[in-house]
Amino acid sequence: MTGLVLQDVHVRFGHGAGAFHAVRGVSLTVADGEVTGLVGESGSGKSTLARAVVGLVEPSDGRILADSVDLVRARGDAARLRRRIQMIFQDPSACLDPRMSIGDSIAEAIRAAARREKTGAPSRRQCRDEVARLLQTVQIDPARADAAPATLSGGQRQRVAIARALAARPAVLLADEITSALDVSVQGAVLNLLLALQRELGLTMLFVSHNLAVVRYVCDRIAVMRAGEIVESGAALDVIDRPQHDYTRDLIAAIPRLGETMFE
Ligand SMILES: Nc1ncnc2c1ncn2[C@@H]1O[C@H](COP(=O)(O)OP(=O)(O)OP(=O)(O)O)[C@@H](O)[C@H]1O
Ligand SMILES: [Mg+2]
């Protein structure tokens, strides 16, 4: 339903002599319903690019299109569309208010989505039912809706963050290092859940990770970023098995035991 097209996107931080050019002319297409992995060394601009797509930083140049609508410049439709692009972060606490129960956090997102879609405010009961459905979707017992985020494990909190993102009925998900802060023992479960949901809901996804083993497991395509630029992109298996760029080869070489990971 909604692919993502980036055309010559630039992001500069600051002005004048102190300005830093973090994203330098990135063009990238994430096809409708596909998962594109964005990899690259620390500081290469992956998060900045994802944040530009979701509207957390303003590109200094270029176009970001979803459904052929320019998200950067257009108003109205674009503002609505942008809310259908949801981001999940490395630290789930970033989107969960510690003073709110997990159910209330999800309900807040449900009500925001209803306002956006102008479908009328859901009743308390509708909200409660939808919260229960979303918690079930991410494999958390709906009976825990009243729990505070602090009482959950890191993996459970990340699943609540996914439920909250899904409450907005997104067409596009941006996942930025969403398992990096989790214990290895639960990383696989969170990734499998995300992938199952992506397939079931036909979501378009940009999956940011420095872990190429994970990216190979999750993604249809891979784009390799270095110093603000995409240096290589293609089908995931091609990029991993036949990297064209030395930088990609170095990234692959940096993964210990690629091919013997828990995802095999
Ligand atoms: N708000 C900001 N102001 C100034 N510079 C910034 C800002 N945000 C990011 N940068 C700089 O932009 C560059 C790219 O940062 P970014 O966070 O996008 O990298 P990354 O590829 O996501 O790295 P990592 O793998 O460590 O998460 C870095 O040099 C960073 O210091
Ligand atoms: Mg980052």
The domain locations on the chain are: 4-253
Closest ligand 1 atom to 40 CA: 21
Q: Is the pLDDT of residue 50 over 50?
A: yes
The Å distance, Cα 47 to ligand 1 centre, comes to 7
Q: Is the pLDDT of residue 165 over 70?
A: yes
Q: Residue 12 is encoded by which pair of tokens?
A: 């500069």
The pLDDT confidence band at residue 254, using thresholds 50, 70 and 90, is confident
HSE-up (13 A, CA, CB side) for residue 245? 15
Give the closest residue (by CA) to ligand 1 atom 11: 22
Q: Residue 126 is encoded by which pair of tokens?
A: 């509708």
Residues 58, 60, 64, 69: is their CA dihedral positive or negative? Answer: positive
* Rounded average pLDDT over 243-251: 93
- The region, left, alpha or beta by phi > 0 then psi within -120 to 50, assigned to residue 128 is alpha
Q: Is the pLDDT of residue 255 over 90?
A: no
The Å distance, Cα 47 to ligand 2 centre, comes to 4
The pLDDT confidence band at residue 259, using thresholds 50, 70 and 90, is very low
Q: Residue 258 is encoded by which pair of tokens?
A: 């690629």
Q: Is the pLDDT of residue 92 over 60?
A: yes
Nearest to 194, CA basis, from 212, 179, 209: 179
* Rounded average pLDDT over 245-253: 91
The Å distance, Cα 142 to ligand 2 centre, comes to 32
Q: Is the pTM of this model over 0.75?
A: yes
**What is the per-residue pLDDT for 75?**
64
HSE-up (13 A, CA, CB side) for residue 79? 5
Whether residue 120 contacts residue 208, with contact meaning beta carbons closer than 8 Å, is answered with no
Q: Pick from 48, 90, 214, 225 the residue to mutate for probing ligand 1's pocket: most ligand atoms within 8 Å of its CB.
A: 48
* Rounded average pLDDT over 202-227: 94
CATH of the structural domain 4-253, one choice from 3.40.50.300, 3.40.50.150, 3.30.70.870, 3.90.740.10: 3.40.50.300
The Å distance, Cα 127 to ligand 1 centre, comes to 37
Residues near ligand 2 ion, CB 5 Å cutoff: 47
Q: Is the pLDDT of residue 70 over 90?
A: no
**High-pLDDT (> 90) share of the chain, %:** 72
What sections of the chain are H helices per DSSP?
46-54, 77-83, 102-117, 124-137, 154-167, 184-201, 212-218, 236-241, 246-253
